[in-house]
């Protein structure tokens, strides 16, 4: 695989790789480092890359495995989540504030899910992969993916409703 | 999109039974401003998913890892080596002149003479010492009376 071919097939995946890495590793710096490391690995294995029918699935599998390894390595001193993507633009609107709070709450709720569910939520609800593709990436049956996804979605929604009813946003 | 239809889709969504197209419909519905108040929680979810997809990787991707380059160091080392060889070989031939050669030969001659003198005297001393040993033997025989 030549450099241009490599760049054309694998480089467009960089945002997806990065987002999945960030979903699992939480911190932005770590996700960036992981993405660079993964591309370096992919480039080193470019000869093997040709043999895979689905390069995208292969790259995503590699991302998942790499990040889980990273997590295992530093399980003890995990970084705490600081989320600041949702800066308030219009403070006067109480309702908008509430929505923003609950949007960042979604982020926290996903972070509390088991790793498998995190990855599945990311791949389906953010990246819009088909169940078959997710199954290939995670080496799972499509029905197993469906079950885990349903569980994750229900958990998030139920937690949101709970918070909403308590009036804690 | 009717509200009943959306609610129906949401139930399917939670069971993991919606297709990607149906999920796109939901995302589209919840990206609108006015959403039925009892569906606010879903709005938070879909808004989050949409915004997360906007996140981009902004750093560069280096395909070749930066490694410290040592090739220039080897060039520098070889230059140093060549210069030192050149300098040392030059000093070797230039400094020994004919006069110095004569001087060296003279010095060698003097040293050899000196050594000769020393060795002669040493020989003398040695002979005396060996003769003395005979005396010692005699004295020993007198004391111990062996035979």
d(CA A103, CA B45): 6
Same domain, A65 and A117: no
Structural domain includes residue B145 = yes
- Answer whether B43's CB lies under 8 Å from A4's CB: no
Segment 67-86 of chain A within 8 Å of chain B by CB: 85-86
Distance CA A72, CA A13 (A): 25
Residue A163's pLDDT band, with cuts at 50, 70 and 90, is: confident
Q: Give the CATH number, domain containing residue A49.
A: 1.10.1740.10
Convert B40-50 to b/e letters by CB count within 10 Å (16 or more is b).
bbbbbbbbbbb
pLDDT one-digit tens code per residue, A79-121? 555 555 544 444 446 667 777 788 889 999 999 999 999 999 9
**Residue ranges making up the domain that contains B129:** 98-147
Q: Do A136 and A101 reside in the same domain of the chain? A: yes
Indicate if the pLDDT at residue B111 is higher than 80: yes
Cβ contact, residue pair A103, B41, below 8 Å: no
User: Does the residue A114 lie in any domain?
Assistant: yes
| B 96-115 → A contacts, CB under 8 A | none
Confidence bin at A169 (pLDDT 50/70/90): very low
- In SS3 terms, chain A reads as CCHHHHHHHHHHHHHHHHHHHHHHHCCHHHHHHHHHHHHHHHHHCHHHHCCCCCHHHHHHHHHHHHHHHHHHHCCCCCCCCCCCCCCCCCCCCHHHHHHHHHHHHHHHHHHCCCHHHHHHHHHHHHCCCCHHHHHHHHCCCHHHHHHHHHHHHHHHHHHHHHHHHHCCC
Which of A73, A107, A129 is where one domain is finished? Answer: A73
What are the chain A neighbours of B15 within 8 Å (beta carbons)?
A: 150
Q: Which residue has the tokens 């111990």?
A: B144
In a domain, B91, yes or no: no
> Would residue A120 count as lying in a domain?
yes
Per-residue pLDDT of A1-52, as tens digits, reads 678 888 888 889 999 999 999 999 988 999 999 999 999 888 888 888 878 8
The answer to whether residues A38 and A68 belong to one domain is yes
Are A16 and A57 part of one and the same domain? yes
Which pLDDT score is estimated for A88? 44
Flag whether A79 is in a domain: no
- Residue range B77-94: mean pLDDT, rounded: 83
Q: A42 and A12 in one domain?
A: yes
Contact between A134 and A115 under an 8 Å Cβ cutoff? The reply is: no
B16 located within any domain:
yes
> Contacts by A117-121 with C-beta closer than 8 Å and gap 24+?
A117/A148, A117/A149, A117/A151, A117/A152, A117/A155, A118/A23, A118/A24, A118/A152, A119/A20, A119/A23, A119/A24, A119/A64, A120/A145, A120/A148, A120/A149, A120/A152, A121/A149, A121/A152, A121/A153, A121/A156
Task: Tell me if chain A has a CB within 8 Å of the CB of B48.
Answer: yes
What is the tally of structural domains in chain A?
A: 2
Domain with A14 in it: 3-73
Quick: pLDDT tens for B27-76.
Answer: 999 988 788 888 888 999 999 999 999 999 988 887 776 666 778 888 89
Determine, yes or no, domain membership for A83: no
**Does residue B130 fall inside a structural domain?**
yes
> Which uninterrupted H or E stretch holds B30?
helix B20-30
Question: Would an 8 Å CB–CB cutoff place A106 in contact with chain B?
Answer: yes
Would B93 be classed as within a structural domain? Answer: no
Least confident of A71-85, A120-134, A137-151: A71-85
Of the three residues A44, A73, A102, the one that is the final residue of a domain is A73
Domain count, chain B: 2
The model's confidence at residue A74, banded by pLDDT at 50, 70 and 90, is confident
Taking CB atoms and an 8 Å limit, are A15 and B57 in contact across chains? yes
Residue A85 maps to a domain: no
Determine contact, residues A35/A112, Cβ cutoff 8 Å: no
Distance CA A125, CA A139 (A): 19
| A107 vs B: CB within 8 A | yes
A14: chain B residues, CB-CB within 8 Å:
57, 61
**CATH number, domain with residue A122:** 1.10.10.10
**Cβ separation A19–B55 shorter than 8 A:** yes
């Amino acid at each position: 695989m030549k450099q241009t071919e490599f760049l054309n097939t694998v480089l467009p995946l960089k945002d997806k790789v990065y987002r999945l890495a960030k979903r699992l590793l939480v911190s932005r710096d770590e996700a960036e480092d992981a993405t660079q490391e993964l591309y370096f690995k992919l480039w080193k294995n470019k000869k093997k890359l040709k043999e895979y029918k689905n390069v995208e699935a292969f790259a995503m599998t590699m991302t998942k495995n790499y990040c889980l390894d990273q997590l295992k390595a530093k399980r003890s001193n995990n970084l705490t989540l600081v989320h600041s993507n949702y800066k308030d633009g219009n403070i006067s609107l109480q309702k908008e504030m509430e929505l923003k709070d609950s949007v960042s709450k979604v982020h926290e709720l996903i972070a509390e899910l088991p790793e498998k569910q995190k990855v599945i939520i990311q791949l389906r609800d953010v990246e819009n992969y088909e169940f078959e593709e997710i199954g290939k990436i995670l080496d799972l049956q499509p029905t197993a993916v469906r079950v885990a996804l349903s569980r994750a979605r229900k958990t998030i929604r139920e937690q949101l409703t709970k918070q909403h009813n308590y009036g804690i946003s | 999109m009717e509200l009943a239809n959306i609610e129906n889709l949401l139930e399917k969504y939670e069971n993991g039974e919606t297709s990607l197209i149906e999920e796109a419909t939901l995302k589209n519905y919840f990206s609108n401003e006015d959403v039925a108040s009892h569906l606010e929680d879903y709005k938070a979810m879909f808004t989050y998913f949409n915004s997360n997809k906007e996140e981009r990787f902004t750093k560069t991707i280096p395909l070749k890892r930066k490694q410290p380059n040592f090739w220039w160091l080897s060039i520098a080392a070889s230059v140093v080596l060549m210069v030192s060889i050149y300098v040392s070989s030059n000093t070797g031939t230039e400094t020994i002149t004919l006069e110095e050669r004569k001087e060296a030969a003279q010095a060698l001659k003097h040293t050899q003479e000196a050594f000769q003198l020393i060795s002669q005297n040493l020989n003398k001393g040695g002979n005396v010492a060996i003769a003395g040993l005979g005396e010692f033997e005699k004295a020993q025989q007198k004391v111990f009376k062996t035979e």
